[in-house]
Amino acid sequence: MFANPLMDGLQFAKEPAPFVITIFGATGDLTRKKLVPALFSLFLKGNASQFKVVGFARRPWTKETFQTEALSMLSGGHYAHIPEGQKKAFLEKLDYVSSTFDDPAGYAKLAELVKPWEGKLFFLSTPPDDYPTIIEQLGKVGLNKTDRGYSRVIVEKPFGRDLATAKELNEILSTQFEENQIYRIDHYLGKETVQNILVLRFGNGIFEPLWNSRYIDNIQITVAESIGVGTRGNYYEKSGTLRDMVQNHIFQLMTLLLMEPPNDLNPDTVRTEKVKVLKSLRPITYKDIKKYTVRGQYAAGVTQGQPVRGYLEEDGVARDSKTETFVALQVHVDTWRWEGVPIFIRTGKGLGRKVSEVAVTFKQPPLQVFRNQATEGNQNQLILHIQPEEGFTFHINSKIPGYTTQVRPVNMNFAYGDAFGEATPEAYERLILDALVGDSTLYTRRDEIEASWTFITRILQGWALDPDPLPQYRAGSAGPEEAKALTASVNQKWRKL
């Protein structure tokens, strides 16, 4: 076939071909808060022009109801300044199918609606229990395949409860869809700062030579929430912090931090390197459960100036619940690069501050030539701030002005918000656009999911055998006292929240 030399060197924005996106569970919160706003934003920015959005849910809405509801999703705040004509043009692209998820008639109607479109994307924004039915029904009406264009499915978390259920879900998906049609979403990967980890590591010459056990002492990953479970007690009881945060979001962060440089940015090249990290995690077995893991539950306290009930008093929570609202882990990655470098993970609800960050602590210089230099707290640290302020801080040592050579740490700060005037795109915008153009780099592959569940399931099994009560921590504190032992084992401390 003739090549097209005219394409060479042109910069093409991500512009998906004409597509239809079907949102299963279109009446839910995710559609209201994230999906419709994300699609509207893509429309406004010109990344999506020829498309249709089909809502599919049980509620007896009509196309017009869906459009009215969508308009309410796009009202107030910054939407107030957007011309009504643009909203109207977007709303005209919305359609709705009212059906239960197991009713073949609903899928027949859906098939008719989406038939003219070459690109078909299905977004499963429903409870996971509905996934098998939806997948099966899509297969029955042939929407899992297409002669031209594509058919893809985006699956929301939670992706399984453990290794067995994750495998089962993968099996169900694979009965109707090929792996390259399946997009397992983790919205954390849609965040700019998370993507920037790759740029920081591999787009700069200065960091990568130091990014190994020779220069790095330890790494701390903190994802702390100040609020409690609120109205999500029911959901949280089935999940817990390890499943809700560590298996997905934190492991995604961790793999990007620890992976080897990919040869290119092909989705599978990047994901293969990430899987290698997960497969190199040293298993935490039952006998080590107390040594490397700490869990806890928040008790009544004060966060952000507001009194907070203890977890066991929250609505929808069993009074004798053993569901953890806090997890701290010490993990090790058994690779040449990371041998001997502990990775500390801390995440939970009802903590003193909402903050997400990674702290990379470098080793001390081999010889302390400055005798007056304090031996504590002076290790160089690179902090990657993810929330609420995105940016970096680098702690370096500097001389205190005066006649003697006294040294103390100072900060070099960089805030993304100060460097780039524009608001960063919402995670869902980026991720949906990627799925539309077939870029799965920021989506989780089957072996990635199964490798992370392999590690997490061992911990869950270890905890299930642990008869001890869960340590409690005051809401608004930094977590249970027991967590301090993890970092103290290598003469380190958790960073202040």
Partner 1 sequence: MKSYADPVAIEQQLRKTQQEVSPNEARTSLFNLVVYVDGHDDAKLTEALNYLHDKRPARVIIVRRNAGGETRADAMARCITDKDDKVLCIQEILISSGDDKAGEAPETWTPLLIREIPVFVWWLASLDNAPLPELFDDIADRVFIDSGLASDPLAFLKGLAGRLKDLKTPMTDFAWSRTAPLLKLTAHAFNAADRRPFLAEIASVTFEGGKTSEVALYFQWLKTKLDWTGSPVAGSAWTLVDEVGKPVSVAHKAPAALEKGFEVTFQTRSGVTLKLKDSHEGFAVAEGSGLEKYTSVFRYQDTGEALLTEVDRNASDRLFLESLGRWS
> So which residues are the catalytic ones?
249
Q: Is the backbone of residue 305 left (phi > 0), alpha (psi -120 to 50) or beta?
A: left
Is 6 a binding residue for partner 1 by CB under 8 A? The answer is yes
Cα separation of 122 and 78, whole Å? 28
6 vs 464 by CB, closer to partner 1: 6
For partner 1, which residue of 60, 78, 464, 465 counts as binding (CB under 8 A)? 78
Cα separation of 434 and 491, whole Å? 43
3-state secondary structure of 13: coil
Is 264 a binding residue for partner 1 by CB under 8 A? The answer is no
Residue 201's nearest CA partner among 191, 188, 211 is 211
Buried residues in 319-349 as b, exposed as e (16+ CB within 10 A): eebebbbbbbbbbbbebebbeebbbbbbbbb
Q: What is the nearest approach in angstroms of partner 1 to the Cβ of residue 34?
A: 18
Is 83 a binding residue for partner 1 by CB under 8 A? The answer is no
Is 92 a binding residue for partner 1 by CB under 8 A? The answer is no
Whether the CB-CB separation of 278 and 256 falls below 8 Å is answered with no
Is 147 a binding residue for partner 1 by CB under 8 A? The answer is no
Is 46 a binding residue for partner 1 by CB under 8 A? The answer is yes
Taking CB under 8 A as the binding criterion, the range among 93-101, 256-264, 375-383, 417-425 that sits at the site for partner 1 is: 417-425
The contact mask relative to partner 1 for 423-442 (x = CB under 8 A, - = no) is: x-------------------
Whether the CB-CB separation of 337 and 303 falls below 8 Å is answered with no
For partner 1, which residue of 421, 467, 468, 491 counts as binding (CB under 8 A)? 421
Whether the CB-CB separation of 352 and 378 falls below 8 Å is answered with no
For partner 1, which residue of 9, 85, 209, 467 counts as binding (CB under 8 A)? 9
Whether the CB-CB separation of 21 and 121 falls below 8 Å is answered with yes
For partner 1, which residue of 367, 419, 464, 465 counts as binding (CB under 8 A)? 419
For partner 1, which residue of 14, 29, 45, 49 counts as binding (CB under 8 A)? 49
Q: What is the nearest approach in angstroms of partner 1 to the Cβ of residue 59?
A: 33
On the question of a cis peptide bond just before residue 388, with omega within 30 degrees of 0, the verdict is yes
For partner 1, which residue of 14, 15, 127, 231 counts as binding (CB under 8 A)? 15
In SS3 terms, 273-317 reads as HHHHHHHCECCCCHHHHHHHEEEEEEECEEECCEEECCHHHCCCC
Q: What is the nearest approach in angstroms of partner 1 to the Cβ of residue 77?
A: 9
Which residues would be at the binding site for partner 1 (CB under 8 A)?
A: 1-12, 15, 46, 49-50, 78, 417-423
